[in-house]
Structure 1
Amino acid sequence: MKFLVVGAGEMGRWFGGAIAAHAAETDAGDETDVAFADTDTEVARAAADAVGGRAVSLSTDERFDAVCIAVPMSAAESAIERHAPTAQRALVDVTGRMADPVAAMREAAPHRERVSLHPLFAASNAPGNVAVVIDESGPVTDRISEALAAAGNRLVETTPGEHDSAMETVQAGTHAAVLAFAAAAEDVPDGLTTPIFEDLSAVAEQVTGNSPSVYAEIQATFDGADRVAEAAACIADADDEEFERLYREASDAIRDASATTEKENR
């Protein structure tokens, strides 16, 4: 089976690597071909070398069983439209947004298998939860799911609307809160920290250690940062009584969210 990954960045390599590794562990190893295409040919070659695949041109007229779109969110729809004809059986995306890519895949490939995937982690932290929207299933996308599950990932089925709404909190709001803390923090003398400060500093270090363009795309795509700013302003301006009310509301919200997550994980 032939796979083409359009976009040889972090998520493209993650996807191609999972497909190649699963093939190597099964009797499909000699029959699986993973190719990468990217605007930077050297990046495509490096990704191909890493998984034992090959690099092809973005303008290739070769046909593949499955094409995975692994480009930035802002380029997803145009990439889907451009590369859909290359996919003979299945079209997949790992761009991070779901509503618009799913609609674009449905329009560009109405008679093919279609799945949207969102790994909810950096590739260096894999495996983890992978959000999945199955728009049209079949043997090719089933094999992709098997490969991701075999790598230790937990596949979480969702809908485009549910996913994109959740990302307002999970990504846009969370990143805004962490970056705001990092931007506002001042130097603290050694020994005058608390466990909470140290934990949040570690999270901030993790967030700020990546490409800023990825986080900029998330903020441009999803709402959520504005609610964090409004909440911070309310806390900063609150008197004692108002602060206690906000504190209780936050406690209740976190408790409810934790209970829901625990129930879903059972």
Structure 2
Amino acid sequence: MNVLVVGAGAMGRWFAEAMNCDLAFTDANPAVAEHAAEELGGNAVALDTTETFDAVCIAVPLPAVEGAIEEHASKAERAVLDLTGAMAAPVSAMAAHAPDKERVSLHPLFSPENAPGNVAVVADEPGTVTDDLLSALESRGNTLVETTPDEHDEAMETVQAGAHTAILAFALSANSVPEGLRTPIYDGLADLTAQVTGGDSRVYADIQAAFDGSDGVATAATELAAADPKEFERLYQEARATQNATLNQGEHEPEDER
């Protein structure tokens, strides 16, 4: 099998590393594609190549995914995949531009340096090629979690957009604190801040643009800041009830039967 990876950045290379097949890379920056080919084996090809491949994996930034699928889906003979982070738009674009091909959308729920981990999967039109590629990811210790485009994108409003907003807001509002005066909760938030701010700001900006969720965090923070003691107690209990409901839901969800 041969696979073209469109977008030879960190996530494209993460996908390619798991594949035991002939690889080709293309990227808006040819030097990036050439470096990936040298590092992982395979060839670098031009964005406008007329070559075709058994499978094409789209690993571009979120704002570029629909255009990349439109441009490169025709280069796939059997399967098209994406791992860009959203799912509704890529799944729709793949169905439009590769209606007769196998189609799977992937979202690794971690950065490459934290691999392996959970990988969200929408198998819109699975088949033998995508089954083999998913098996290769599983063989690297990843857990495949089947979902739907709507379920995934709604979850990312909280898991990514909301969480990132809360962490960055803490970082922007925090004062310097002497070592001996820190609490475990503060240290936990500081660790999360270091993790988030140590990444690629463009990726986080793309996530904020793609998913709602930040407004809810801002509204809640405003309500807490303005609350008198009685209202604060009500909001505190509401937060506790919401957290308990979330934990209980997770404990009783059925196991993935895939």
With structure 2 as the length reference, what TM-score do the two structures score? 0.97
Cα deviation, residue 41, structure 1: 1.2
Q: Does 1:65 align with 2:58?
A: no
Whether 1:194 aligns to 2:183 is yes
Aligned partners of 2:136 and 2:39: how far apart in 1? 17
Q: How does 1:168-207 map to 2 (within 5 A)?
A: 168-207=157-196
Pairing 1:82–2:66 present: no
Distance 1:165 1:219 in 2: 13
Mapped partners of 1:148, 1:190: distance in 2? 42
Aligned residue number for residue 108 of structure 2 = 119
CA distance in 2 between counterparts of 1:51 and 1:256 reads 45
**What amino acid sits opposite 1:220 in the alignment?**
A
The match for 1:26 is none
Task: Give the deviation of 1:18 after TM superposition.
Answer: 1.1
CA shift, 1:265, in A, is: 7.7
In the alignment, the residues of structure 2 paired with residue 265 and residue 2 of structure 1 have an alpha-carbon distance, to the nearest angstrom, of 36
Q: How does 1:37-186 map to 2 (within 5 A)?
A: 37-186=26-175
1:231 matched residue in structure 2: 220
- Runs of at least 5 residues in structure 2 that lack an aligned partner in the other structure: none
What letter is aligned with 1:75? A
Q: Which residue of 2 aligns with 1:5?
A: 5
Equivalent in the alignment of 1:27: none
Kindly provide the CA deviation profile for residues 105-127 of structure 1, in whole angstroms up to 9, marking residues without a partner as x: 00100000000000000000000
Q: Which digits, 9 at most, give the CA deviation of each residue in 1:49-84, with x for residues without a partner?
A: 222222111111111000000001111001000001
Q: Supply the distance in 2 between the matched residues of 1:250 and 1:217 (Cα, whole angstroms).
A: 28
Q: How many equivalent pairs are there?
A: 255
The corresponding residue for 1:255 is 244
Taking the aligned partners of 2:50 and 2:215, their CA distance within structure 1 comes to: 45
Q: Does 1:33 align with 2:41?
A: no
Question: C-alpha displacement at 1:10, in angstroms?
Answer: 1.1
Deviation at 1:257? 1.3
Residue 162 of structure 1 deviates from its aligned partner by: 0.5
Partners of 1:48 and 1:261 lie apart in 2 by 41
C-alpha distance in 2 between matches for 1:52 and 1:228: 44
Percentage of matched positions with identical amino acids: 58
Deviations 1:175-214 (A, max 9, x none): 0000000000011112000001001100000000011110
With structure 1 as the length reference, what TM-score do the two structures score?
Answer: 0.94
Q: Does 1:14 align with 2:3?
A: no
Instruction: Report the more deviating stretch, 52-61 or 157-166.
Output: 52-61
| Counterparts of 2:105 and 2:26, CA distance in 1 | 19
